[in-house]
Amino acid sequence: MSARIKAMDTIALGGVEITRVVERHGEFGPLRTIVPGMPDPTPVWLAPDHHDPATGGMVAAAQTWVLRSGGRTILVDTGVGNDRERANPVFAGWNTDFLERLSEVVAPEDVDVVVNTHVHADHVGWNTNWENGEWAPTFPNAAYLIPRADFEHFKGTEVHDDSVKPIIDAGLATLWENNFRIDESLELEAAPGHTPGSAVLRLRSGTDRAVFVGDLLHSPFQLTDPLCNSVFCLDEGQARASRLRVLGRAADERELVVPAHFGGAGAVEVHHAGDGFAITTWADFPPLETL
């Protein structure tokens, strides 16, 4: 993975400003292992932004989306975090300057809302930071929105203990179910399957639309074959149903689809194409580059 990457880029949708802050960019493991339904040979159009043909690796990003909406600052997912003990070695022992780069966009104490689309290690890590010998909230003045179903499912795991429990203990967590409205432009909606509490965040501002889909997608190939799950989907049937529903609405309403981990331009508009979807256009975020 790249030690240094382009830290941020910003676009506006209606009255909402969206900034991309990347924690780390590069290969996150073999693409066929992460997305087992990937055809052989791998579609050539996935390279170079989403697949490295030389290694077979999935090119992706761990990143946070920073939204400015209604006078507040909202973070969508908080990445892997530093100095974590993880069963998955891909996410263990990271030591990046992510928090410094995020601070170029917003000071941690000025974050108003943190959205965890689900409770996986690479989505909740920077919820907390190691301070004075314990894990403490990184964003001390924020309301952390955590799906209740995931809170219950992941209790007692290492991820819960270092990245969720300290938030609960500090009284900063809101455990929500079904739907949760953040403001007039932003609403959380349950989209289970990847995990029991997986959620998407819908943005509607003026004539612009977007949907932050978390791990509903790991590879753009899943747009062309929405029945194709990642290896991490806990309920395969539910994951497929959620993917079809969310992408179908995105195509119908011209929502910009913003996955958690896409490299390249990071987000995409889609349209219906047979039993799946096809790319209409990529977002205006420039591809990630090594500095």
On whether residue 158 sits in a domain, the answer given is yes
On whether residue 1 sits in a domain, the answer given is no
Cβ count within 10 A of residue 86: 18
The reported pLDDT for the residue numbered 291 is: 28
On whether residue 188 sits in a domain, the answer given is yes
On whether residue 264 sits in a domain, the answer given is yes
Parallel, antiparallel, or unpaired for β 179-181 and 268-273?
Answer: unpaired
The reported pLDDT for the residue numbered 287 is: 76
Cis peptide bond prior to 41, omega within 30° of 0: yes
pTM of the model: 0.95
On whether residue 233 sits in a domain, the answer given is yes
On whether residue 288 sits in a domain, the answer given is no
On whether residue 198 sits in a domain, the answer given is yes
The reported pLDDT for the residue numbered 142 is: 98
The reported pLDDT for the residue numbered 2 is: 32
Q: Cα–Cα distance between 199 and 115 in angstroms, integer?
A: 10
The reported pLDDT for the residue numbered 8 is: 53
The reported pLDDT for the residue numbered 289 is: 63
Low-confidence ranges of the chain (pLDDT < 70): 1-8, 289-291
The reported pLDDT for the residue numbered 4 is: 33
Cβ count within 10 A of residue 9: 18
Strand partners, 204: 209
**DSSP annotation of 288:** P
Q: Cα–Cα distance between 231 and 210 in angstroms, integer?
A: 26
The reported pLDDT for the residue numbered 3 is: 30
The reported pLDDT for the residue numbered 6 is: 43
Query: What φ, ψ does residue 8 adopt, rounded to 5°?
Result: -160, 155
Give the torsion sign (CA, 243, 271, 35, 125): negative
On whether residue 290 sits in a domain, the answer given is no
Q: Cα–Cα distance between 226 and 194 in angstroms, integer?
A: 13
What is the count of structural domains for the chain?
Answer: 1
Residue-number span of the structural domain to which 129 is assigned = 8-282
The reported pLDDT for the residue numbered 286 is: 82
CATH code of 42's domain: 3.60.15.10
